[in-house]
Amino acid sequence: MLLKDNIFSISFVLIIFLQLNYTQSENTSTIDGIHEIVRPKIINGFTKNQIAQTNEDDNQHISSISIEIELNGVLKKLDLKLNRNLIAHGFKHARQHQGKYLSEIPENEELCHYQGQIQGTKKSWAAISTCEGLRGVIFDGEKMYHIHPKTGVLNDDHYLYKHDDFKANYTREFNETQRHTRPAKKFRLNKRSTDDVIRGPFNVNQATRYVELVFVIDKSEYINLNSNLINVHRYCKDLANIMNSLYRPFNIFIALVGIEVWTENDRINMTTDSDELLKRFLKYRMKTLVNSIPNDNAQLLTSVHFDNGIIGKAYRGLICSTENSGSVSVHHSSVVGLVAATLAHELAHNLGIDHDTEDCSCPDELCIMNPICQNDVIPIHWSACSFKNLSHAYRQGLDYCLRNKPKMLFDSPTCGNGFVERGEECDCGLPEKCNNHCCNAALCKLHPNASCATGTCCDVTRCTLKKIETPCRSRKGECDLPEYCDGKSEYCPQDVFKIDGEKCKSGKAFCHQGNCQSHSDQCRKLWGPSICISKLNCYDRNTLGYWGGNCGYDISKNISKKCEKDDVLCGRLYCNVKPGIDLKLGSSMISKKIGMQTKYRDDCQGVVMDFGLNNIDPGLVPNGAKCGDNKMCVDQVCMPVEKVKEKFYIDNSCANNCGGNGVCNSLGHCHCNRGFSPPDCQSFGYGGSIDSGFSKYYNDTYKFANSKFETCSDDLVDAESKVILNLKTYPNEEIAKPNTDVTLVCRDESPVRADVRWIRDGNLPLPSNSENNGNRLDLFRVKPEHSGVYICEAFQYPLSFPGRNASVMLTVKNI
């Protein structure tokens, strides 16, 4: 494995050459190496009868099965659930046909991929597919096993190998680089005690992250899989299923959103140079793949063997990047679990996880992110360092694109997947993992006398609904609204918030989708708590329409949108950042950094950040920021607040401004102040709305607390929107003879006394024989070609600022 400028790779000198083809063939060749022959017994999870196949009709497979199999001389029973969450809604197949590129969403995608564990063994897990026999991995809490069919028949003989027995087929060589190298010596990580629990943001009480993954299969790999699309699709789903199991400790879910197969021609020039191939593939992803199959991450799998024994390569910490979220890997083993481990390793680099070092704590001798593949240990666990790396990456905002939960492709309910679906009363996961005494985990039905089993409005200690008016979702900020239990459902009501356009932060910003963000707020998020918005003249650059000044930048096409003059304060964000201050949010996601100082020594610091095409660049001015008097930014356009509010008043639901006793919420209904009752806030009540409920006892008043760093003046936008400039020129118009001298004077006669300067209309240069001294312009020996409009401007104010300019018409002619 290599480390070079944040590019990581895995290397082997000799690969495991097990002559095992991933096919539908009736006769699979004998496996070289140590293995056992086993004949598992498959049992229907509901009827408890032995079965010969798991598919019931068409491509639909039984949702729950058990497998009895002998492991290391002991009969074990696996309890498995169909992993319907493996395939996301909108899952696509892409392939070539007669020179054309075809992309389709299959109507009935076969899913035969199961996950679960050994009955009675808490630390065990398994990821197995049942299409054409059993394929996958089983971990018994101590050792890993790989299972593969001998004939492709489910109830026939299968090959079973111990993970440790593969070590005889490996030799290891570390591939050194010119700049960064690791010693080609053995080292062991400090073995962690089994009692030591790594604490972090990855336990079951934290939000799960979702990686929407696409596999790309090149022509060599397509041929390696017998040029059979069914084989390719099954193999990719097997890989994703195993990767899912490996990422379970991180509470990261892998959602396969698509498979692209290059059946006729490779869509990039393939090469054995892994660095160059990674660059080509990532460019292809950015230019083409993310548009045809939107994804968080793409992995290219090839049968082309890279130079120096490298089998995988990826960039570090760029998971949400349009440009660099992806990897390239070699199909280096006939054992699907080993290939899946390589792909999991490369994805981990994209997630910001480094190689392990000697002081990392690991439950085994070596962990997954070990930089050297030892010839006597094959890692299957994550080290403590990997958990710390991921935690740090999350704090840097690198999970920006991983919080949206993919929609499932299949509508039929699956008991045991943790989601309460059609026909289910509850679902607490697999029976052996369910600790909810209100729910019958095997049937996904409530126990007798139980009213509920899940939800923030369910008292799971008593299995009863919480009382009406119980708070279930508090306000996240002054633009949000609280929700209360209604006494009828175990779930908290829909999250609602104030109508877009409501003033917040004492008028320094406006609510937008429940958030309140000013220019300086975003500057602090990017650069730290002491940073404020830059002087407003910095924003004039947004009219130039290049990557460093714009109202939107498509990084995949390198296209920038110019800001109209009225929209400059809603385009690229500029902050007053002094030298030596580093970016705090997502520093590895910087695509381009804008650092400049105007000729008037105003610091203008901006940044272009790549968090993916479907995510807003944090380097742009946030929605809701103030851009003028009663104006707010919405998608890089400066809009009158009343126009923003119009869409909420169409049905007149919030007529008469809720009687002045409440605010309109995001569903167009009145949320009443305490002391008034919905729906119109005209009569006595306890506040709230018909959407979020109310409470007699809970005061939902939100107090906006100023930070100790709240010293920004937007802040400037707010202060300067109240300014009225009064530029006067002397004279107002001038007619002069050729070869005479002319003096033009300008000053701001408002209380502000703004600094001014002279320019010529149409971007024409001032005459060479002139002196521009700020408010005074001296023109010597004028000529007829010097005729035209001369403009006095208050240059520290945006181009759109009222009263910013005053002009003088100069005419040079014989009188």
Q: Report the catalytic residues.
A: 346
- Confirm whether residue 355 is marked as ligand binding: yes
Q: Specify the residue for token string 């949320």.
A: 671
C-alpha to C-alpha distance for 457 and 454, rounded to whole angstroms? 8
Distance CA 507, CA 717 (A): 11
Among 549, 523, 535, CA closest to 618? 523
DSSP structural state of residue 645 = H
- Asked if 616 contacts 624 with a C-beta cutoff of 8 angstroms, the reply is no
| Dist CA 587 CA 608 (whole Å) | 11
Does residue 97 have a known ligand-binding role? Answer: no
What's the chain's length in residues?
A: 815
- Please give the structure tokens belonging to residue 643: 């126009």
Token pair of 378 as six digits: 């094959």
Measured distance CA(647)–CA(499) in Å, rounded:
10
Contacts of 658 (CB under 8 A, 6+ apart): 664, 670, 671, 672, 680, 681
Residues 6 or more apart whose CB falls under 8 angstroms from that of 360 comprise 189, 190, 367, 383, 384, 385, 386
Under a CB-based contact definition with an 8 Å cutoff, are residues 68 and 75 in contact?
A: yes
**DSSP-assigned letters across all residues of 296-359:** SEEEEEESSPPGGGEEEEEESS-TT-TTT-EEEEE---SSHHHHHHHHHHHHHHHTTPPPP-TT
CB of 57 within 8 A of CB of 389? Answer: no
DSSP SS3 for 745: strand
Tell me how far apart the alpha carbons of residues 710 and 561 are, in angstroms, rounded to a whole number: 32
For 362, phi then psi, to 5°, come to -140, 140
Query: How does DSSP classify residue 123?
Result: T
Phi-psi region for residue 55, left (φ > 0), alpha (ψ -120 to 50) or beta?
A: beta
CA distance 635 to 620: 9
- Residue found under tokens 């892998």: 254
146 is in an annotated binding site: no
d(CA 632, CA 500): 10
Annotated binding site for Zn(2+): 345, 349, 355
